[in-house]
C-alpha cells in the first residue's frame, strides 16, 4: 500500500479566493471558461443493442498513448473537467476519448436500463472496443466521481488481467450508501435536489422517446417501477429505479455490490486516487484507509479541494490541479 500526499514538486495550493468546499465544487461547472476542442464523435453499438457515444481528441496515431475519460453523475463528455483534461493530454501528444454513459450524449438511450455507479460491464465493452480500434496504443483511464467508482470497480474485477497501463480516479463515492446519506446533510441538500431533478428528467425523456416511437414494452418497464414524483433522496431514486432496472434487489443491495471500496484490494494496475477531506459528497470515513489499498495504489488525500474542484491560482488566472497532476501521473 502506498498512501501519499501530493509530490513536493507539484503541491496543490487551494485558491485563497474560494474558501470552503462548496466554492471549490461550484467553480468548475458554473464559472470555468470552457476549453474549445475539435472532437470526433463515434457511436459504439453495444452487445445489447444500445449505444454509447465517444468523443475523440488528439493525434490520430496508432501508437500514441490513449486515455479514456469517464464523467460523473448527470455529466457528459462536455463537462468542463473532461474538456480540460483532454486539452492537456493533447498538449503532451496523447490521444483521448471521452465516454458519454448511456443517455448522456444529448439523446435518450434505446433501452430501459440506464447508466449507474456499478456499470463496469459497459466500461469493459468500451475498453474492448478501444483495444480493437488501436491495438498498439498504450491504454489508460481516468474517472471522475461516479466515473471513478465505475473505473475502480472494473480495475478490481479484472485484477491482473486488466489491459490498462495506468489509471486515476478523482472524488470517488467509495461507499455509495454513506454518500447517499452525506448528500442529504446541510448545504449538500442543494446538490441532492439538483441531482434528483436531473435524474427524474433523464427517466422522463426516455419515457417520452419510448412513447413517441411506440416502444410500449420499454415504456411499460419504466412505468411499472412507479411514479416520477415523491423522490427526494438518492435512497428514494435508487430504490425505485436504479436497483430494479439493473438487477439489484433494493438500494442497499445496489450500494453494497456497486461501491468501489470493496474492490480496491484486488487492483493490480498502477492507480492514483485524488480525494479531498472536505468533499461535500463524501464523508471522511468513507475514504479508504491505507491498509485497504493494494500495493499499486497511491492515495492523495488533500485537506481541501471540494468535489472535483481542486482550483488553484488567482481570480483572474485560475488553474486546475487535476489537469496537470493527472497527465503527469499517467506519463510518469
**Catalytic residue list contains 294:** no
| Separation between Cα atoms, residue 142 and residue 150, nearest integer Å | 10
Exposed e or buried b per residue across 192-203, where buried means at least 16 C-beta atoms within 10 angstroms of its C-beta: beebbeebeebb
- Give first-to-last CA distance, the chain, whole Å: 19
- Supply the DSSP string of 118-169, one letter for each residue: T-HHHHHHHHHHHHHH-TTS-EEEEEETHHHHHHHHHHHHHGGG---SEEEE
User: Which of 117, 145, 188, 286 is an active site residue?
Assistant: 145
- Helices (H) and strands (E) counted in the chain, each on its own, are 11, 11
How many residues are listed for the chain in this entry? 332
**Catalytic residue list contains 145:** yes
**Strand ranges inside the chain, DSSP E:** 2-4, 40-45, 51-57, 66-70, 95-100, 139-144, 166-170, 271-276, 297-302, 311-313, 318-320
User: Which of 77, 171, 307, 323 is an active site residue?
Assistant: 307
| Separation between Cα atoms, residue 73 and residue 232, nearest integer Å | 16
Tell me if 301 sits within 8 A of 287, measured CB to CB.
yes
Grid cell in block for residue 212: 413517441
| Separation between Cα atoms, residue 91 and residue 58, nearest integer Å | 8
**Catalytic residue list contains 307:** yes
Tell me if 199 sits within 8 A of 96, measured CB to CB.
no
User: Which of 279, 286, 302, 323 is an active site residue?
Assistant: 279
Q: What residues are labeled active site?
A: 145, 279, 307
Amino acid at each position: 500500500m502506498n498512501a501519499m500526499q501530493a509530490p513536493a514538486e507539484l503541491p496543490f495550493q487551494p485558491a485563497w479566493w474560494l474558501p470552503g468546499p462548496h466554492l471549490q465544487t461550484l467553480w468548475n461547472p458554473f464559472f470555468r471558461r470552457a476549453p474549445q476542442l475539435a472532437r470526433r464523435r463515434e457511436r459504439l453499438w453495444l452487445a445489447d443493442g444500445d449505444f454509447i457515444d465517444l468523443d475523440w481528441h488528439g493525434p490520430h496515431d496508432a501508437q500514441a498513448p490513449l486515455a479514456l475519460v469517464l464523467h460523473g453523475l448527470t455529466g457528459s463528455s462536455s463537462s468542463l473537467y473532461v474538456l480540460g483534461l483532454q486539452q492537456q493530454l493533447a498538449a503532451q501528444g496523447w490521444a483521448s476519448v471521452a465516454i458519454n454513459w448511456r443517455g448522456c450524449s444529448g439523446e435518450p438511450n434505446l433501452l430501459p436500463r440506464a447508466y449507474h455507479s456499478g456499470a463496469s460491464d459497459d466500461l469493459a465493452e468500451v475498453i474492448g472496443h478501444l483495444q480493437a480500434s488501436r491495438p498498439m496504443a498504450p491504454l489508460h483511464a481516468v474517472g471522475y466521481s461516479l466515473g471513478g467508482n465505475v473505473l475502480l470497480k472494473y480495475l478490481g474485477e479484472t485484477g491482473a488481467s486488466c489491459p490498462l497501463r495506468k489509471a486515476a480516479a478523482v472524488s470517488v463515492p467509495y461507499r455509495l450508501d454513506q454518500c447517499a446519506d452525506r448528500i442529504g446533510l446541510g448545504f449538500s441538500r442543494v446538490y441532492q435536489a439538483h441531482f434528483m431533478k436531473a435524474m427524474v428528467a433523464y427517466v422522463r425523456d426516455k419515457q417520452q422517446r419510448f412513447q413517441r416511437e411506440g416502444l410500449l414494452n420499454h415504456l411499460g418497464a419504466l412505468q411499472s417501477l412507479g411514479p416520477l414524483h415523491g423522490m427526494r433522496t438518492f435512497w428514494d431514486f435508487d430504490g425505485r429505479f436504479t436497483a430494479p432496472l439493473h438487477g439489484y434487489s433494493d438500494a442497499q443491495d445496489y450500494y453494497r455490490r456497486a461501491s468501489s471500496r470493496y474492490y480496491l484490494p484486488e487492483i493490480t494496475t498502477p492507480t492514483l486516487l485524488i480525494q479531498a477531506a472536505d468533499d461535500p459528497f463524501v464523508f471522511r470515513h468513507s475514504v479508504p484507509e491505507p491498509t485497504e489499498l493494494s500495493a499499486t495504489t497511491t492515495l492523495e488525500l488533500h485537506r481541501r479541494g471540494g468535489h472535483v474542484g481542486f482550483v488553484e491560482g488567482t481570480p483572474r488566472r485560475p488553474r486546475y490541479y487535476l489537469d496537470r497532476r493527472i497527465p503527469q501521473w499517467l506519463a510518469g
